[in-house]
Homo-oligomer: A and B are copies of this chain.
Amino acid sequence: MYTNYLGELSKSLLFDNIQREHLADLLGCLKPTISSYKKNDYLIIADEEFKSLGIVLKGRVAVFKDNAAGRRVMISLLSKGDMFGEMLAFSKQKKWPATVEAQENCEILFLAKEKIIDECRNVCPWHKTLIENMLRIISERALMLNKRVEYLSITGMRGKISTFLLEQFKEAGTPTFTLPMNRNDLASYLNVSRPSMSREMSKMRDEGVIDFHLSSVKILNPEALRGMVE
């Protein structure tokens, strides 16, 4: 059944640190179901009852959210190895907050939420690793969201740009580094418009604080940049 996918699954974060040969045992204990979907099929419709979390085995799926006006906004695009619904599995929330749609023909593994914690704690030693992985995945996602909120809470284009660049600078260690996204993605990450962001970056270049060409950026005056944070 899922034997074809053992190799793929063992690369997934949820099954990290679990040997491929033990994975089969663990799956035997988790008893997942596998479903196939055709392009444009809905895997999940918002407000449906949550029963199990999903892992993409093959193909790509899109997570959407319909806002109150009825327009659908894409939240994320998932492919092989990615998981969805992991936060719902452990919260009190009972309904899916989003809609999930197949972008291509795909196969999805579903894991019932009760199986993840409740079963075979003593019998199956890999379960402990599974729980650890789950805690790590959710915690890390929460930390990412936290950082995102920080960026979004900054008022002012300058503040956002300089905070972001300083963080990249700190991470890279060197004053010259490559941006991890293109202008469009960066703009929507910071929730500003792309042209406005470009305009401001150019101003900052004119002022001699930074220099850049496409995705390559150089911090010329870190102190001045820090002064622009607020």
Please report A residues at the B interface, Cβ cutoff 8 Å: 65, 67-71, 86-93, 97, 117, 121-122, 128, 131-132, 134-136, 138-143, 145-146, 148-150, 152-153, 155, 162-163, 166-167, 191, 225-230
Residue of B nearest to A65 (CB): B150
Pick from B67, B132, B163: contact of A90, CB under 8 Å: B132
Pick from B88, B138, B225, B229: contact of A138, CB under 8 Å: B138
A-B residue pairs in contact (CB < 8 Å), sample of 22: A68-B162, A68-B163, A68-B226, A69-B227, A69-B229, A69-B230, A86-B139, A87-B143, A87-B146, A89-B139, A90-B136, A93-B143, A117-B135, A121-B122, A131-B131, A138-B138, A138-B139, A145-B145, A145-B148, A148-B149, A149-B149, A155-B191
| Measured CA separation A67–B159 after assembly (Å) | 10
Residue of B nearest to A116 (CB): B135
Pick from B121, B148, B155, B167: contact of A128, CB under 8 Å: B121
The 3 closest A-B pairs by CB, nearest first: A145-B145, A69-B229, A152-B152
Contact A92 B138 (CB under 8 A): no
Chain B residues with Cβ below 8 Å from A149 are 145, 148-149, 152
A16 CB → nearest B CB, Å: 11
Chain B residues with Cβ below 8 Å from A225 are 68
Contact B140 A141 (CB under 8 A): no
| Measured CA separation A149–B142 after assembly (Å) | 11
| Measured CA separation A71–B159 after assembly (Å) | 13
A41 CB → nearest B CB, Å: 25
| Measured CA separation A191–B153 after assembly (Å) | 6
A169 CB → nearest B CB, Å: 10
* Interface contacts beyond A69-B227, A92-B140, A155-B191: sample of 8 additional A-B pairs, CB < 8 Å, sorted by A: A65-B150, A68-B225, A87-B143, A91-B140, A97-B146, A117-B132, A121-B128, A131-B131
Contact A71 B136 (CB under 8 A): no
| Measured CA separation A136–B135 after assembly (Å) | 10
Residue of B nearest to A153 (CB): B191
A83 CB → nearest B CB, Å: 13
Contact A87 B166 (CB under 8 A): no
Residue of B nearest to A163 (CB): B68
Residue of B nearest to A122 (CB): B122
